[in-house]
Structure 1
Amino acid sequence: MPVWASELSTRLMEVAQIERLLVQLAREAERSAVFVDDDFLDGNGGPVFYDTIKKLNDPARLTPRFEELLMEKLNDQQVEALLLFFESTLGQQIIELELSAREVMFDDEVEQSVRQQVAQNGTPDLVLRMMDEGDLVERNVIDAMSSLRQFYMGQLDGGLSDFSKSDVETLLAETEEPMRIDTQIWLESFLTFAYSPLNEGDLTTYIELWETQTGKAYDTALFYAFATLFDEIGFATGQLVARLSRVSDI
């Protein structure tokens, strides 16, 4: 059974192109690292900082960890049901649309253009239905706030004493609402852009998958796997910032 379960989970990882997504997330993390370097290390992070960020977000390291976390929340029967959809022509088309959209929107000019178009034309009802059904805005905000909290906790663990746990919670409270607003706008823009080639029937079929018990289980598993990884990376990045800050002080 463990061998069979591993084969199933590997098929799901491959068909969902999780490693390709993690490659894109690594690109986004490396770009965000520039702001972390500027804000917390006065731009003095240097090769050690950027090399470590690259290693922390290395898809080759994260892919097996993600698979392990994903399968903590899914059973074989659920994986088999998911494979029936995602190995279909429509399933593969949707995965390609989602990944391509994220990769294209990595360009700031493209992202701003997409945001403006959606703001002008409105968000399709089916996209809003998907967001509402999955509570996507709130769940993304909760996970992002958790990762940010772990980043600050990592700094405290690493010996920085510029702020306290109470200060962290104050900072997070100030960040939460702006983050919620931006997340709402980004999700509406991204999903509208990604699914624009689909007709209503195909998009409805996809949404109905997420409304099943199996779809909800997969959604929960994905959020759990990503949240766990982001928390781990956030904490390690905070520790890295603390370590380099101490070296700089010396």
Structure 2
Amino acid sequence: MGRARPRVCYALNGDSRTMSLRLVAPVVLICAAAPLSAAPGEALLEAMRVPEIVQVMREEGLDYAQEMGEDLLPGGATRGWRAVVSQVYDTEAMEEVVRGQFIDSFAGTEAGPLLDFFTSEDGQRVVDLEITARRTLIDDDLEASAREAYQALDGTDDPRLEQIEAFVEANDLVEANVVGAMNASYQFYLGLVDGGAFEMTEEEILSEVWAQEEDTRSDTREWLYAFLLVAYRPLSDAVLDEYVALSASPEGRAMNRALFAGFNAMYDEISYGLGLAAAQQMLGEEL
């Protein structure tokens, strides 16, 4: 029930570099009631504020694509680059990919317990806190502060940290996020190659991506815990315990798998599109 942001790795003038892009999926962002007559996946997508989730992801993506342009492209983050990035982060297309993959993955799962919780007052508060935390961490300074707060707690027996660790472990969130991040990096490289910016074999791309695995894992874990600590700070222990238990249930695990299926597919498409766009910019082609 959560994704940290993929790290995109790339090569420039022979140097391997990495940067973190906010290509991130939500933890779980469900709030309003849904028509119970709808299919389970559709009902949950109606209950999840999907357009708002995708809009936050667009804001995150545009912010980091600006940084990418300044770091990677010879001309920096030009008007043409910003225009094509805006097209890549098309909210309608992003939502369509998420919706299709989620429904396919979630098919056959009982949605009742999930809807019961997330349409309750406590569930709605969880949603609002998650949305607020995601928007908060778009700010680099606030993100740095959140990471520092996690670093200060890491390795201690802090009760809230232990609850969040249980939440992360119940859904194997670190590993799932690392896999998603590395897949996104692979797609970005593939876009660069297909766009003509580099000549690399599949084996060379994989080697570059795997070379960043350790850094990706460390960054992913830190961001994920920092985000969750910020988001759930106002929750009572009882509500968070209930949320952890739900996430560890068969229904919660199925929903998390469906979320990863949907958002991973979306991020793969975005990453490939960014790679193509970056290649065109690097080659001086009209965007």
Structure 1-normalised TM-score? 0.89
Distance apart, 1:65 and its partner CA: 2.5
What does 1:125-204 correspond to in 2, within 5 Å?
A: 125-204=162-241
User: Which residue type is aligned with residue 82 of structure 2?
Assistant: Y
Matched, 1:208 2:208: no
Describe the SS at the equivalent of 1:124. Answer: helix
Cα contact 2:40–2:110 (8 A) shared by 1: no
Q: Which moved more, 1:155-164 or 1:236-245?
A: 155-164
1:226 aligns to what? 263
Cα contact 1:45–1:244 (8 A) shared by 2: no
Over 3 Å counting, the alpha-carbon distance change for 1:76 and 1:172 in structure 2 is closer
User: Which residue type is aligned with residue 92 of structure 1?
Assistant: Q
Q: Which moved more, 1:44-53 or 1:19-28?
A: 44-53
Cα contact 2:109–2:254 (8 A) shared by 1: no
Matched, 1:71 2:71: no
User: Which residue type is aligned with residue 55 of structure 2?
Assistant: V
Structure 2 unaligned blocks of 5 or more: 1-34, 155-159
Distance apart, 1:85 and its partner CA: 1.6
Greater helix percent: which structure?
1
Q: Which moved more, 1:60-69 or 1:158-167?
A: 158-167
Distance apart, 1:210 and its partner CA: 1.0
Distance apart, 1:92 and its partner CA: 0.7
Q: Which moved more, 1:62-71 or 1:202-211?
A: 62-71
Distance apart, 1:241 and its partner CA: 1.9
Greater strand percent: which structure?
2
Structure 2-normalised TM-score? 0.78
Over 3 Å counting, the alpha-carbon distance change for 1:61 and 1:161 in structure 2 is closer
1:241 aligns to what? 278
Q: What is the rounded CA distance, in whole Å, between the counterparts of 1:67 and 1:45 in structure 2?
A: 31
Distance apart, 1:11 and its partner CA: 4.2
Distance apart, 1:37 and its partner CA: 1.7
Describe the SS at the equivalent of 1:173. Answer: helix
Matched length: 247
1:83 aligns to what? 115
Q: Sequence identity, in percent?
A: 27
User: Which residue type is aligned with residue 217 of structure 1?
Assistant: A
What does 1:32-71 correspond to in 2, within 5 Å?
A: 32-44=64-76, 46-71=78-103
Over 3 Å counting, the alpha-carbon distance change for 1:244 and 1:136 in structure 2 is same
Cα contact 2:134–2:227 (8 A) shared by 1: yes
Q: What is the rounded CA distance, in whole Å, between the counterparts of 1:19 and 1:243 in structure 2?
A: 30
Please report the RMSD computed on the Cα atoms of aligned residues, expressed in angstroms.
2.3
Structure 1 unaligned blocks of 5 or more: none
1:194-249 CA distance string (max 9 Å, x none): 11111111111111111111111000000111111111111122122222333359
User: Which residue type is aligned with residue 117 of structure 1?
Assistant: A
1:93 aligns to what? 125
User: Which residue type is aligned with residue 156 of structure 1?
Assistant: V
